[in-house]
Structure 1
Amino acid sequence: MNQPAAGPHLSDRQRVHWLRLIRTPNVGPASFRDLINRFGSAETAIEMLPEVMMAGGANRLVRIPSVAEAEAEMELARKCGARFVALGEQDYPQTLKRMDHPPPLLALKGTAAVFNLPPVAIVGARNASLAGIKMARTLASELGRNGYSVISGLARGIDTAAHQGSLDTGTVGVLAGGIDHPYPTENIGLCNEIAARGAIVSEMPFGWEPRAQDFPRRNRIVAGMALGLVVVEAAQRSGSLISARLAGEMGRLVFAVPGSPLDPRAAGTNGLLKDGATLVTDAGDVMEALAPLVGGRPYIAASLEQPPDFTATAPPVDSDRARLIEALGPVPIEIDELIRHTGLHPAQIFMILLELDLTGRLERHSGGRVSLVEPDA
């Protein structure tokens, strides 16, 4: 298998400031990227952050983690046997770079070599049937024997079976909390086994206890890391269907294992099949669909989007901000449409959106669309 070309490598100082910036409230992957593009480095972006937030209408400034706090988290990572890998570095998962707004930093415990295998995600119900568990384990095992890695979220049921089936061939567990807080606790042993042979990753801070709202973020990474996502069992309105939707929006292939119409755990998967997901009865169905992608290795050569040239025009003024805010609303809209409607330079648009994002007034959607968040009354 071809290895990805070596990319840039952050110095220890740069990594500390990257960690400080992404741990700052209201700074997400999209605003992180725009801040780096605008100011050239995380260190400079941190210095300019108060000014940018005030321009966006912030009533109060957020607290930026100190150098000592970032260094303390990096030390926790070392004690845990983990490290932070930055977007663009050689050990960062190549497929994940292709998603909208990938995490700038991932905590990684284990070996990055597993990222060089073509990845398939397998997800499904926590209260899985014995047949579903057997199917997930068999799929994972067969995919592993044929050179694929298996990605899942370390949840009970289908996720656990998928990891168990691919332990010896390469599996990646994605956590909703910090790497030092695996969930559920019954899978701590499995988590350690995965880290010893594959990899455990998380975008969340060390010490972070997962909350309900953190699992969709985890699902986003599971979908983003894979070329295709297989749903084995899923009820209606389940987290696995969220993963499938996210995978489809990212352009990943979506697969589903059919189930009995009488079993509510199959309602979600059967619905996916009605909506056009690829039917799976064995691993061969997955490998046949992925063969063109694996042969061409498109995810190794994928390039990141071109950042706007912030030096190409003058910074936005208050009248520019008012014009853009007037054009925004609760309905998601493409940034290209905002550029055409307002007549503002793309760099000015991106700067104003960054200001709004940092003050919690902007919501980002799939496909690069954005909408305005109305302030609380």
Structure 2
Amino acid sequence: MTGDRDRAAHHRDWLELINTPGLGHQRLLHLVAAFGSPGAALAATRSEWRRHGVELDIDSAARQAGADADQAWLDQDERHHLLCRDDPDYPPLLAELPDPPPVLYLNGDPSLLHRPQIAIIGARECTPQGERLAGEFARELAGAGVIVTSGMARGIDGAAHEGALAAPGGRTIAVVATGPDRIYPAQHRRLAHRIADHGLVVSLWPTGTRPLARNFPQRNRVISGMALGTVVVEAALKSGSLITARLAAEQGRQVYAVPGSVLSPVSRGCHRLIRDGAQLVESADEVLEDLADWLGVAPGETPETPPEPAREPLDPEQERVLNAMGFDPIPLETLRDRTKLTIERLSSMLVLLELNGRVAALDHGRYQRLDAGSPES
């Protein structure tokens, strides 16, 4: 019982430090290292902080209110946990970073932090094919017992979490850029609850923290830092995904990139990564094989992906339309010129192909083929 009280008091010290307005993660860790413990750092005077390079007006009321709010969140649900930098259960890969997060707010199963992870990241404004690929990669990796980690953003991140949860026994970790009591984006509210039920949501910031732009690079650094490798499915040339991939490489982790069409803006980032040394991958099996020694999954032992439900067979005219589409987004008028079919006939056929899961309707009257086979199939 005494040990529990001591641990609770120790965690309270961390909460008060993390809720000190203006302190920040790096200076917080610097003070804890300088004074030997979070409690000693809290007990130090302002002049003692100044001697260690931290000049700050302390708002004790705000600090206490923030710590109280965090404690209330922790007491609210048995799935809510706090993991501090000096806790023995702190993720070992994350601890290797020069300045790891001082605290982690957890919602879900903390044991997942100690299982092998692979990150899947990519564009928010992704293509239907990219979304599908991210889901397939995640489902196969999770089916092999790997934890799929991502940032719960729209697009590729969301598809990766959904894919992992679709695998039998699949688990996923979402590292978010808000406080643990907030969900961003709001459209992922149901997904966030599913992840907490069957995985883990990780936050670096106190309760009430809004999705501030400065938090996203730190969030990305944790995603790559916890994972053995990072898979980039789609990314523009200027995107957070490329920053995360660069961080992964700097952290000594593997970087994988899925190639795409040279005409697609969200493939150019992946092609840049491949030119810069990232490993080109076309399937989750290639990732599992490359990391087999670290993941404990021998090549060829991955459970088979459940077969997709049977789809309606295509008639010759539908096959002609698919072959004319290729694999890049195509305007309806261009497809009309290639097939010599009327707009009315094409529109009705595309509706059927969309219902059959072979075509996706995009914005601005464009369509994209979803089949993974060759155009001749």
Aligned equivalents of 2:152 and 2:69: distance in 1?
27
Structure 2 unaligned segments of length 5 or more: list them.
298-377
From the CA coordinates, give the structure whose radius of gyration is larger. Answer: 2
Match of residue 68 from structure 2: 71
Q: What amino acid does structure 2 have at the position aligned with 1:146?
A: A
1:223-372 aligned within 5 A:
223-295=224-296
Look up the SS of the partner of 1:155 in the other structure. Answer: coil
Q: Could you tell me how far 1:12 is from its partner in structure 2?
A: 0.7
Tell me the SS of whatever aligns to 1:11: helix
Superposed CA offset, 1:35-89 (max 9, x none)? 2232222121122251234336777524345445413321123225522111243
Change (3 A) 1:247 1:10: farther
Q: How many angstroms apart in 1 are the aligned matches of 2:108 and 2:25?
A: 23
Aligned match of 2:115 in 117, 120, 138?
Answer: 117
Name the structure 2 match of 1:215: 216
* In structure 2, distance between residues paired with 1:262 and 1:284: 26
SS at match of 1:72: helix
Tell which deviates more after alignment, 45-54 or 194-203: 45-54
Aligned match for 2:37, one of 28, 38, 41: 41
Alignment CA distance shift 1:121-1:52 (3 Å): same
How far apart are 1:173 and its partner, in Å?
0.5
TM alignment of 1:77-116, pairs within 5 A: 77-79=74-76, 81-116=79-114
Per the alignment, residue 135 of structure 2 pairs with: 137
Distance 1:58 1:132, change over 3 A: closer
Q: Which structure is higher in RCO with an 8 Å CA cutoff and minimum separation 6?
A: 1
8 Å contact kept, 1:231–1:240: yes
- Counterparts of 2:203 and 2:170, CA distance in 1: 21
The amino acid that maps onto 1:132 is G
| Counterpart-to-counterpart distance in 1, 2:128 and 2:44 | 55
Residue 162 (structure 2) aligns with = 164
Q: Which moved more, 1:190-199 or 1:19-28?
A: 19-28
**Which residue in the other structure is 1:345 paired with?**
none
The answer to whether the aligner puts 1:30 opposite 2:26 as a matched pair is yes
2:148 partner SS:
strand
The verdict on how the C-alpha distance between 1:43 and 1:59 changes in structure 2, with shifts beyond 3 A counting, is closer
CA–CA distance in structure 1, aligned partners of residues 152 and 211 of structure 2: 13
* Rounded Cα–Cα distance in structure 1 between residues aligned with 2:232 and 2:45: 41
Q: Find the aligned partners of 1:184 and 1:69 in 2 and give their Cα distance.
A: 23
Q: For 1:85, what is the secondary structure of its paired residue? A: strand
Q: How many residues align?
A: 289
Distance 1:58 1:78 in 2: 32
- Label 1:9 to 1:169 Cα distance change in 2 as closer, same or farther (>3 A): farther
TM-score, normalising length: structure 1: 0.72
Structure 1 gap segments, 5+ residues each: 1-7, 297-377
Please tell me the residue identity of whatever aligns with 2:231.
Answer: V
1:169 is paired with a residue of what secondary structure? coil
Change (3 A) 1:200 1:126: same
Which of 6, 9, 20 is the matching residue for 1:13?
A: 9
- CA distance in 1 between counterparts of 2:202 and 2:55 reads 35
Q: 2:29 corresponds to which letter in structure 1?
A: R
Please give the TM-score of this superposition, normalised by the length of structure 2. Answer: 0.72
CA change 1:43–1:259 in 2 (3 A) is: same
Q: Classify the secondary structure of the residue corresponding to 1:137.
A: helix
Asked if the contact 2:66/2:207 (under 8 Å) is kept, the reply is: no
Per the TM alignment, residue 293 of structure 1 is displaced from its structure 2 partner at its CA by 2.8
Cα displacement (A) at 1:295? 4.8
Q: Which residue of 2 aligns with 1:196?
A: 197
* Aligned-residue offset at 1:138: 0.6
Aligned 8 A contact 1:123 1:229 in 2: yes
State the Cα deviation string for residues 276-320 of structure 1 (Å, max 9, x = none).
Answer: 001110011111221233359xxxxxxxxxxxxxxxxxxxxxxxx
Q: Is the 8 A contact 2:23 2:56 kept in 1?
A: no
For 1:225, give the aligned amino acid.
Answer: M
Q: Distance in 2 between matches of 1:294 and 1:57?
A: 42
User: Helix, strand or coil for the counterpart of 2:44?
Assistant: helix
Q: Structure 1 pair 130/69, CA: closer, same or farther in 2 (3 Å)? A: closer
Offset, 1:9: 10
Q: Deviations 1:151-187 (Å, cap 9, x if unpaired)?
A: 0000011001100011141100111001211110000
Q: Which amino acid aligns with 1:27?
A: L
Corresponding residue of 2:48? 52
Q: Which moved more, 1:132-141 or 1:15-24?
A: 15-24
Change (3 A) 1:176 1:284: same
Q: What is the deviation of 1:93?
A: 2.6
Aligned mates of 1:49, 1:100 — CA distance in 2: 27
Q: 1:128 to 1:61 in 2, by over 3 A?
A: same
The residue type paired with residue 133 of structure 1 is E
Partners of 1:57 and 1:22 in 2: how far apart? 17
SS of 1:201's equivalent in the other structure is strand
